[in-house]
Structures are given as structure tokens and as C-alpha cells.
Structure 1
């Protein structure tokens, strides 16, 4: 889904935020996508079973360390806006779930500046431009 504010990315496409069948499911999913400032991540999950903790370091991410989260989400439908470039880490606090692959690392890229399209030249302007380029005086040797 696209909007003026950025894209809305349903986490794992149509999979809920839950322990994946393949432990590398979320890492593969995030590697296949490009995330930009202004995008939004939608986490859907059973709030009786899981939650979403945002943590701040790769070390915490690798070790599934839940002791000092930056943010805790536990509504079951959480919208997380990517507001600045950098790496964001998400895990669950439920014992064993993070170790089983319920964790996500997202590389957020800066907003790409949209390059303005070249001005469309009318056929007449294109002819003039062609004449100028084709019949440029050549220096004599």
C-alpha cells in the first residue's frame, strides 16, 4: 500500500508476527525489501501469545536480550513508523520465541530525493536542439 506519508508494510506480507516455521523467515523477508524513512510497519499478532519489543543494538538482537527495550508494543495490531535512517531491531519478550526466529532487523534508508523528469520538449524544440547539435561549427585543424 502506498500513501503520501510512505508505504504501509504488513510484516511478513500475510503472515502474522509469530514464531515462523523457518527460523530465518523474517530475516529473509526484510532482506528482500527496501525500507525508507516514512514507511510504516504493521505488526499483527495474538496479543495473548506475543508482543513487539524494539531494542537498540545488534548484540541485544542476536542474544534476544529483552532487559532494556526502547519501546514495548502489545496491542496485537501495532503500527510502527520509520522516522529516521538507521537500523531498527524488533523482538518478542516471550521465552523461546525470539530464539526460534521471531525477530526482525530493518535497515531504514533515507528518503530518496525524487529526480524531476526532464522537461518535455515540443517537436519544434527538439528540431532546433538537433540542428544546433548537428551543425555546430567544427574547429579547423
Structure 2
């Protein structure tokens, strides 16, 4: 029983240490939020799997539309979005490496530059790049030390 507790504790610590390096970024910087203003705040940042973006904007005028590819992004084509966020305070966490393309579905605002292309490579954890592993599944083990298989 003590071995199981130690193993669970070690797994929890490993998960917390691995995910504690994730960062949270407010899109547009702390002063403006997400607007048509220049998004140069993102130019020298490295985004990784596990990081999160916080979009703050006027929900009566804009939204955050995630599109699938660079062509849709460049042309402000929101006809087949992957996801549309519209609360005015949305948090998007990078769950896998790749490019994330965000724009407003307000076409005029998008053309004026209210869009964001974020490359998200895997996070490096003491060695080669690899994505952050998912949290360990929560299993309730019987206290008597017996393990039962479904169907028994």
C-alpha cells in the first residue's frame, strides 16, 4: 500500500513540475488586450505546447475565430472555422504542436490586422522536444489490495 502511495505522489510531482513551465500570455499585452493595434508584442516570444493565450476584447464588436490554415488566415476567410470564442475573455491552451491561426470574424477588423498566427513547437523538457504528457488518469484502487478486471 505504501508503494502505491509513493508512486502516486511521484507521478503527481512529475506532472506538476512538467506543467509548471507553461506560460500564460495576454494577447496584445497587458495594456490593450486583443485589438487592431499592432501585435508586435508576440514577435519575440516563443510559444509552446502547454502555454495559454488570454484574449480580452469587446464581445459586442469582435470574437476570436480559430481557422485551420494559412490561406484562410491570410484572406480573413472565416467560412469554416475550427472554433469560435465569443465571451470577451477567452483562454486558449496549446494542446499540440503546430500553427494556431486566430482572427476576428469581423471582416473589416481582420483586414485591418486583428489576427494572430502563433507557431507552437513542443516544449523542451531537459532534452529533445516533446509534448507535455497528459495528466495521469485518476484511478481508485481498492484498499484491500485486490485488483478487479471489468467483466469478472
Q: TM-score, normalised by structure 1?
A: 0.72
CA RMSD of aligned residues (A): 1.4
Q: TM-score, normalised by structure 2?
A: 0.67
Give the aligned partner of residue 73 of structure 1.
85
Greater fraction helix:
2
Residues 37-79 of structure 1 deviation map (CA, whole Å, 9 limit, x = unaligned) = 0000000011011100000110001100010000000000000
Give the aligned partner of residue 128 of structure 1.
none
Take 1:49 and 1:107, find their aligned partners in 2: how far apart are those partners?
Answer: 26
| Structure 2 spans left out of the alignment, 5+ residues | 1-18, 128-152
Take 1:109 and 1:57, find their aligned partners in 2: how far apart are those partners?
Answer: 16
Give the aligned partner of residue 34 of structure 2.
17
| Structure 1 spans left out of the alignment, 5+ residues | 116-141
Q: How does 1:85-124 map to 2 (within 5 A)?
A: 85-114=97-126
Deviating above 3 A after TM superposition, structure 1's stretches of 4 or more consecutive aligned residues are none
Higher relative contact order (CA 8 A, sep 6+): 1
Take 2:109 and 2:94, find their aligned partners in 1: how far apart are those partners?
Answer: 24
Q: How many residues align?
A: 108
Greater fraction strand:
1
Give the aligned partner of residue 50 of structure 2.
38
